[in-house]
């Protein structure tokens, strides 16, 4: 390889390193923002979560959350209040919510669902079973989720 090509290759490698460094710092900042897009409210003794919604943040009481639903790269939070039910989207995965809310009457009943057991009105037996929420919504329970759910409600 001639020195002319070696210089061009060195310049290219240097440019690639600068770009990767820039992207790495940018990704760290983006990850930090995403990690903080939904979090607990410290002033309410962890009775609420904050969820980013466009250019605003919304405070949601944990007791009003019916369930969390995994939807590809997002999690849908299904919420009930005095007037109606509504949904909010967050970039945090269901695993994160499961870890944070395990002590708040939430149970992972399926790879797709994390349910607030205080909003479960019935459980239909089956291979995995089905939970019926207070709003009438039916959610499938996996075999592994069945064991966790029955332990959580004191039936095992």
Phi first, then psi: give them for residue 61, nearest 5 degrees: -65, 130
Q: Does the pTM exceed 0.85?
A: no
> DSSP class of residue 141?
-
Beta-bridge partners for 120: 133
Could you tell me the maximum CA-CA distance found in the chain, to the nearest angstrom? 77
44 vs 108, higher pLDDT: 108
- Asked if residues 121 and 127 have their Cβ atoms less than 8 Å apart, the reply is no
**Percentage of the chain lying above the pLDDT 70 cut:** 78
Q: What is the pLDDT at residue 132? A: 97
Give CA separation, 130 vs 69, 94, 106, 127, in Å.
15, 19, 16, 9
pLDDT in tens, 14-60: 777 777 776 665 444 444 444 444 555 443 457 999 988 778 899 99
């Amino acid at each position: 390889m001639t020195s002319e090509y070696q210089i061009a290759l060195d310049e290219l490698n240097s440019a690639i390193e600068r770009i990767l460094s820039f992207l790495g710092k940018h990704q760290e900042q983006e990850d930090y923002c995403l990690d903080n897009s939904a979090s607990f409210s410290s002033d309410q003794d962890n009775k609420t979560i904050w969820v980013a919604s466009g250019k605003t943040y919304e405070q949601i009481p944990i007791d009003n959350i019916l369930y969390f639903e995994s939807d590809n790269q997002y999690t849908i939070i299904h919420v009930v209040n005095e007037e109606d039910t509504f949904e909010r989207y967050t970039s945090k995965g269901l695993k994160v919510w499961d870890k944070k809310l395990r002590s708040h009457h939430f149970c992972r009943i399926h790879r797709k669902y994390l349910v607030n057991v205080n909003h479960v009105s019935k459980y239909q037996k089956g291979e995995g079973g089905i939970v019926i929420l207070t709003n009438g919504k039916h959610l499938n329970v996996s075999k592994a989720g069945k064991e966790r759910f029955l332990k959580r409600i004191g039936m095992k």
